[in-house]
Structure 1
Amino acid sequence: MARQQKSQTGSIRIIGGQWRGRKLPVLAAEGLRPTTDRVKETLFNWLQGRIANRRCLDLFAGSGSLSFEALSHQADYVVALEKFAKAASQLKENQQRLNVPQSQLDVRCVDTLKFLQQRPEQGFDLVFMDPPFRKNMIVPCCELLIHQGWLNPGAWVYIESEQEFDELSVPWQLYREKSVGQVISRLYRFE
């Protein structure tokens, strides 16, 4: 008797805003680590009143947890970068599920470091950086954000990393920091 294969999907939940409580399917793929509800709730409490009408850049979108949460909280525009083609495809499917036009959410299947090497047409007000752990992606991303002009004055940069990652040496002010399990979350302000 043939065994039925288990579905290769999980789900994320939008915790606030216009889509509060909506669940979206995500791939159950190695290395894909959606931001937990607890961490996401903390982050969006920190950002309360700072998301509406803002331009956001999600550098390692993965499940889209942070991108969709920002849009639910009335972000004006989000660019979601995801290198893994199947995850990027899932992001686009969830975009359709929520009826989000491309003028609000631009999902790109690209390598983040290569993407950041170009100069943007317009800067961003909020950047989410939740890279794969232990791949040494944070420092090069921060350098490119600074040197290529990706950040608008007063921009916020959220970095989610493994617990052992030391604080960055960046020209940004650390606004908030919190550890939950093996994850440390930091929110910086670009002056």
Structure 2
Amino acid sequence: MRITGGEARGRIIKVPKGFAVRPTPDMMRQAMFNSLGGIVCGARVLELFAGSGALSLECMSRGALGSVCVEKSRYHADILRSNWDVCGFDRQSLSLRVQDAYTALEQLASLGETFDLILADPPYG
């Protein structure tokens, strides 16, 4: 799997093994971000059900200011951190919450956190 646009374009990222994660295919991500256009640049992003972090990485590659990733699996969270480093993004621009997405939403709302773009790609099947 690779980053499809922006400064990290072409970087290969890891995907957790097994059927628990089915990452959004490259072509789908590219089409989605082409549709979003300039909305991503300068945005503060929340990615729920982050898995490999591919959606946040695409956002950062295309100029987002920072990303909060929510992933309940510690194993997947470790892969996400590794992918962040592979893409060369500053760890200060990543906030990773290893918890259930619904709990994270409640906590972020109670803290008054706001986001310009919220991405959710929950597992299916």
Fold agreement, TM-score > 0.5: yes
Answer with 1 or 2: which has the greater Rg. 1
Cα-to-partner distance string for 1:96-125 (whole Å, 9 max, x where unaligned): 223322321112211111111122333000
Q: Which amino acid aligns with 2:111?
A: P
Q: Which structure is richer in relative contact order (CA contacts within 8 A, separation 6 or more)?
A: 2
Q: Which amino acid aligns with 1:63?
A: S
Q: Which runs of 5+ in 1 are unaligned?
A: 1-11, 135-191
What does 1:39-188 correspond to in 2, within 5 Å? 39-118=28-107, 119-133=110-124
| Correspondence for 2:9 | 20
TM-score (norm 1): 0.61
The runs of 4+ residues in structure 1 deviating greater than 4 Å are: none
Cα pair 2:11 2:86 within 8 Å, conserved: no
More strand by share: 1
* Aligned-pair CA distance for 1:64: 1.1
Distance in structure 2 (CA, Å) of the matches to 1:21 and 1:93:
16
Cα pair 2:71 2:97 within 8 Å, conserved: yes
Distance in structure 1 (CA, Å) of the matches to 2:111 and 2:27:
32
More helix by share: 2
| Correspondence for 2:27 | 38
Q: Secondary structure at the match of 1:132?
A: coil
- Give % identity: 37
Q: CA RMSD in A?
A: 1.3
Cα pair 2:5 2:62 within 8 Å, conserved: yes
Distance in structure 2 (CA, Å) of the matches to 1:122 and 1:104:
15
